[in-house]
Amino acid sequence: MIDKKHLKAFINIVGAENIYDDKAHMIAYSYDATRTRFEPDAVIFPRDEEDVSKILKYCNDNLIVITARGAGSGFTGGALPSNGGIILAMEKHMNKILEIDTQNMVAVVQPGVINMDLQKHVEELGLFYPPDPASEEYSTLGGNVSENAGGMRAAKYGITKDYVMALRAVRTNGDIIRAGKRTIKDVAGYNTAGILIASEGTLAVLTELTLKLIPKPKFKKTYMGIFPSVDNAMNAVFKSLSAGANPVAMEFLDKLVIEALIEKLGVNLPTDAGAILVGDVDGNVPQEVDFQLETLETSFKENGASEFRVAKDDEEAKELWYARRNASQSITIFGNKKLNEDISVPRSMLPSALENIYKIGEKYGFKIPCFGHAGDGNIHVNVMIDISQIDEGHRCIEEIFQMVVDMGGTLSGEHGIGTSKAPFMGIAFNEQELQLFKDIKKSFDPNNILNPGKMGL
């Protein structure tokens, strides 16, 4: 329970209508997509950057733990109040698109803006914001930046960090800082914005984001390649890209996922398919799109594809995408609990990585259906267990992480570390590197009040 004198101080900052400590709010802000629960002591809705500054300074002076939160859609517990304290909820007031600069192709937004809302707004102006996490319909841009979210279009367009030009943030002592500029080039000073991106709210609280936009491509088509095996499909990924293909997305489904889609959802896919690659290509002239499709078809068939489909219209495109968009919900036929990890490896290592993942699954007796963003080497690995097998499941995950790191890969391609992957940070980083992270954390947050415990910090 938070002391009443602190609640009174916060009321003086934001008003009684913007702070809650009732049970309903504590429960509502206690969980994210991990379904793990940690109740805060209070929820505060700051109205503006000045409120954020005053709240952080008060918390720092009184050693009150504080966690910034957007939509709470994360998969690793990054915005959970795992040490109690205050939830600083950004979605109620700090949710405005402040400016769309069409001449310089820049958007200035507050952290509570929903990703999809920005996408729709700029597309009406002929512009395009590419980062598209699966949670784009409800995740906030502040959360996307804090976790460095990816998405299906990352194969061609990159991830969130590639579109953050500048930001404003508040340090725990209340200082308001600017990082980056609204310029294409900026090499003055340290790359502070780069440090804050993907820091999971452990260093400062984001209050304003300046995001790069690009012209919206005029033409797009959807394709699907069907393969007899995962190995064929994974070889087709990096070989087609080496051959000059540049797809917007190249998404992957393995045999287990295909079986689940057929059994649970009745999706019309070949029962003997060993793997599927599905995605989009785009361009500003039809010839550019046609070239991409021709390159993909040639490479896919050279690598064993039994079929290459191209959607004739938007309706058929939705049908081709249906399997990928419903992969996650279909695989529940293999177990009542899913340990979902988002490993990332160099694309040329995909065939070996998938082979080793399945071998590790066999060792532990678990089915591990895999799907995800093969075009950028980011695969969602789903260790399917019964709840009684949780310890074995975590050992299985640890082996997969070690294998991935040994291949030059990483623990997470887009979900972040949070609390769920914090125990495995020692696999990916040595003692000196981990100490550097702690030193950076202490420099920004000497009293360790800002989202402590995340990323093992």
What pLDDT digit, counting tens, does each position of 175-225 carry? Answer: 999 999 999 999 999 999 999 999 999 999 999 999 999 999 999 999 999
Residues 324-377 have pLDDT tens digits of 999 999 999 999 899 999 999 999 999 999 999 999 999 999 999 999 999 999
Fold for 4-92+444-456, please state it: 3.30.43
Question: What are the structural domain ranges in the chain?
Answer: 4-92+444-456, 97-215, 218-413
Residues 409-451 have pLDDT tens digits of 999 999 999 999 999 999 999 999 999 999 999 999 999 999 9
Task: State yes or no: pLDDT of 45 exceeds 90.
Answer: yes
Nearest to 45 by CA among 72, 15, 79, 71: 15
| Cα–Cα distance, 157 to 131 (Å, whole number) | 8
The percent of residues above 90 in pLDDT, for the chain, comes to 98
Going by their DSSP bridges, the two strands 337-344 and 378-385 should be labelled as antiparallel
Angle between helices 390-406 and 350-364 (to 10 degrees): 160
| Cα–Cα distance, 303 to 248 (Å, whole number) | 20
Q: What is the mean predicted confidence (pLDDT) over 233-253?
A: 97
Quick one: pLDDT at residue 20? 97
Fold for 97-215, please state it: 3.30.465
Q: What is the mean predicted confidence (pLDDT) over 261-273?
A: 94
In 120-163, the DSSP E strands lie at 127-128
- Identify the burial level of 182 via C-beta atoms within 10 angstroms of its C-beta, where 0-12 means exposed, 13-18 middle and 19 or more buried: middle
Confidence of residue 258 (pLDDT cuts 50, 70, 90): very high
421, 437 contact by CB (below 8 A): no
Quick one: pLDDT at residue 303? 97
Confidence of residue 255 (pLDDT cuts 50, 70, 90): very high
The H helix count followed by the E strand count for the chain is 16, 18
> Which one is the CATH code of 218-413: 3.20.20.120, 3.40.462.10, 3.30.420.40, 3.30.1360.20?
3.40.462.10
Residues 70-105 have pLDDT tens digits of 999 999 999 999 999 999 999 999 999 999 999 999
Mean pLDDT of the chain: 96
| Cα–Cα distance, 58 to 69 (Å, whole number) | 18
Task: State yes or no: pLDDT of 132 exceeds 90.
Answer: yes
- The 10 Å Cβ neighbour count of residue 234 is 28
| Cα–Cα distance, 398 to 148 (Å, whole number) | 23
Nearest to 265 by CA among 277, 282, 283, 253: 253
70, 111 contact by CB (below 8 A): yes
Q: What is the mean predicted confidence (pLDDT) over 379-406?
A: 96
Q: What is the mean predicted confidence (pLDDT) over 47-63?
A: 98
| pTM, rounded to two decimals | 0.95
**Two structure tokens written together for 33:** 């997509």
Quick one: pLDDT at residue 35? 85
Confidence of residue 29 (pLDDT cuts 50, 70, 90): very high
**Two structure tokens written together for 378:** 């980011």
Beta bridge partners, 164, equal 211
Task: State yes or no: pLDDT of 1 exceeds 80.
Answer: no
| Cα–Cα distance, 379 to 321 (Å, whole number) | 17
CA 103 to chain centroid = 29
Task: State yes or no: pLDDT of 231 exceeds 90.
Answer: yes
Quick one: pLDDT at residue 430? 97
